[in-house]
Amino acid sequence: MISRRVVFTLAALLTFAAAARAQQTTVSPGASLVTVNAGPGNQTDPHINGTLIAYTSSVTGVTQIRYFDLATRLDSGIPTTGTSYDFLSAVGGALIVFTRIDNGKQAIFAFDTATAGPAYELDPQPGSNRRGPAIGGRTVAWQDLGFTTDEVAVSEIVLYDMDIATTVRLTNDVAYDRNPSVSPDGSVVAWEKCLTSTSPCDIYQAVKGASGWTVTQVTNTDGAESSPDTNGTLVVYGGNRAGNATGADIYWTPVAGGTEQQLSMAGDERNPNVAGNLIVFESRNPTDPTPNWDIYAYDVSTKILYRLTNTPLFDETLNAVSVTGNEAHVAYSVLETDQNVYAQTFTLISAQYDFTGTGGFQSPIANAPAVNVVNAGRVIPIKWQLRDASGAYITDLDVVSGLLVQPVPCGTLATNFDNAVAAETSGSSGLRFDSANNQFVFNWVTSSTMAGSCRAFVLHLNDGSEYPAYFRLK
């Protein structure tokens, strides 16, 4: 195996649609790297629940599902029939579900790792044509191509209740319904619906209620949405939409309905997976010296972005995530000499200060991605509030570790502030706390020579977080 260096940092400026704010944070919390399987052949497509990882292994013509426990470091395989081809697995609790091609049909099987099997077929049907199962609680969803006899089969989403051994056909139309995901409790299912096998897709969801499943459409855009996942509260997905200057991005929408949120970074982001409040995805920045796919994780509760890998010679893809308490496990596949599977475990960081929850920068300063237009040569009062974890206002000036300014291209929001310098102020009119309004105030002195340019004013706090506000000076 080729030696690999893993960098674990929070990186890149986040820009959100609607009411979401931009934030950049850089810390090094540390992570442990575990080699799941880097042996002969190809090991790929990992899925994780708790500490249990299921993945597909292909060695010397034998393709099977294997499983690895991060707690015990034991790796085992689900026995094949000798003629079967096993692939496309998912894991929920101690159960692994997977696709098996054997005896002239494609079927969904389940395997209990607690009892070490044997594997058994779910809802056996002669000549079935099923693939890509997902599992949450006691609900299994799969893509079923067996409802038509046309040369090009249209796929539908089918749900299987493991407690009562019955199926529900969730979709029944001429669209291609595919790539289902199931929330951990089994009550929410999300999938792609595409008018043709090659057309852009929208995201749909189904929620289980007392009278059955209710289907609703999550997205309806001219762009292409793909790879949905759900934690039961949010549906996350990738989106590639016209007019998005940064390329494909990660989006999420509340299951109960509400504003769609967007995570926008330089380059393309894809294949999001969610557990708890953590969204894990793959990102490729074409401006990097050696562009490649790396793994990132974003905490929607703290708005912290984690960069999990930084390996210019390798692509990390096919990520999976599980969160227990404040501990996260992320598995992924890496193309080295062949495909191998690795995992990282790390502790989620709790944000010390609440900036965005107080409204961010206060009037008259508008928060990113808005650009404030001001007169060069004037003093610009920058105001903001901070709260601690209990909701109390923070008044200590020492929490501010930097007030910085950096030139930025007009029309483009900066993605880092490595060249920022201290913001200028005059005399004793610099940083102070206004107790009457519970806010920090800093009088930024601009120069007339800044006219016709743009600047980022960056508030840096001692927990490592950074918050920019953007200005065009006239």
DSSP-derived 3-state class of residue 56: strand
Mean pLDDT, range 49-54, rounded to an integer: 97
User: Is 22 or 233 the better-scoring residue by pLDDT?
Assistant: 233
Beta-carbon contacts of residue 268 (< 8 Å; ≥ 6 apart): 240, 247, 248, 283, 284, 286
pLDDT tens per residue, range 57-107: 999 889 999 999 999 999 999 999 999 999 999 999 999 999 999 999 999
- Contact indicator for 276, 230 with CB cutoff of 8 Å: no
The residue extents of the domains of the chain are 24-347, 356-473
pLDDT tens per residue, range 112-124: 999 998 999 999 9
Q: What is the b/e burial string over 457-467, where b = at least 16 CB atoms within 10 angstroms of the residue's CB?
A: bbbbbeebbbb
DSSP-derived 3-state class of residue 160: strand
3-state secondary structure 273-299: EEECCEEEEEEECCCCCCCCCEEEEEE
Cα separations in angstroms, 306 against 296, 313, 344: 6, 20, 12
pLDDT for 139:
98
Across the chain, how many H-helices and E-strands are there?
0, 37
Compute the distance between CA of residue 295 and CA of residue 78 in angstroms, rounded to an integer.
Answer: 28
Residue 398 DSSP class? G
Task: Return the CATH number of 356-473, one of 2.60.40, 2.60.120, 1.10.10, 2.90.10.
Answer: 2.60.40
pLDDT for 428:
64
pLDDT for 152:
65
**Which own/partner contact pairs does 90-93 have at CB distance under 8 Å and 24+ positions apart?**
90/47, 90/54, 90/133, 90/134, 90/135, 91/47, 91/48, 91/49, 91/52, 91/53, 91/54, 91/67, 91/135, 92/49, 92/135, 92/136, 92/137, 92/182, 92/184, 93/49, 93/50
Mean pLDDT, range 333-359, rounded to an integer: 88
Q: How many CB atoms lie within 10 A of CB 469?
A: 23
Q: How many CB atoms lie within 10 A of CB 371?
A: 16
Put simply, whether the predicted model's pTM sits higher than 0.85 gets the answer no
Residue 151 pLDDT class (50, 70, 90 cuts): low
Report which of 46, 59, 55 is spatially closest to residue 78, judged by C-alpha positions.
Answer: 55
Compute the distance between CA of residue 106 and CA of residue 408 in angstroms, rounded to an integer.
Answer: 55
pLDDT for 30:
63
Q: How many CB atoms lie within 10 A of CB 357?
A: 14
pLDDT surpasses 90 at 131: yes
pLDDT surpasses 60 at 18: no
Residue 429 pLDDT class (50, 70, 90 cuts): low
* Residue 35 structure tokens: 């080699």
- Contact indicator for 88, 96 with CB cutoff of 8 Å: no
pLDDT tens per residue, range 266-291: 889 999 999 999 999 999 988 778 88
pLDDT for 135:
98
The topology under which CATH files domain 24-347 is Neuraminidase (2.120.10)
Work out the widest C-alpha separation in the chain, in whole angstroms: 84
Compute the distance between CA of residue 4 and CA of residue 473 in angstroms, rounded to an integer.
Answer: 45
pLDDT for 288:
79
Compute the distance between CA of residue 321 and CA of residue 286 in angstroms, rounded to an integer.
Answer: 25
Residue 290 burial by Cβ neighbours in a 10 Å radius (0-12, 13-18, 19+): exposed
pLDDT tens per residue, range 167-210: 999 999 999 999 999 999 999 999 999 998 888 999 999 999 99
Residue 34 burial by Cβ neighbours in a 10 Å radius (0-12, 13-18, 19+): middle
pLDDT surpasses 80 at 162: yes
Residue 368 pLDDT class (50, 70, 90 cuts): confident
Same topology, domains 24-347 and 356-473? Answer is no
Find the angle CA(115)-CA(117)-CA(121) to the nearest 5 degrees: 135
Residue 216 pLDDT class (50, 70, 90 cuts): very high
1 strand-pairing partners: none
Which of 147-151, 207-211, 397-401 has the weakest average pLDDT?
Answer: 147-151
Is the backbone peptide bond immediately before 291 cis, with ω within 30 degrees of 0?
A: no
Q: What is the b/e burial string over 309-327, where b = at least 16 CB atoms within 10 angstroms of the residue's CB?
A: bbbeebbbbbbbbbbeeee
pLDDT surpasses 70 at 307: yes
Compute the distance between CA of residue 338 and CA of residue 41 in angstroms, rounded to an integer.
Answer: 7
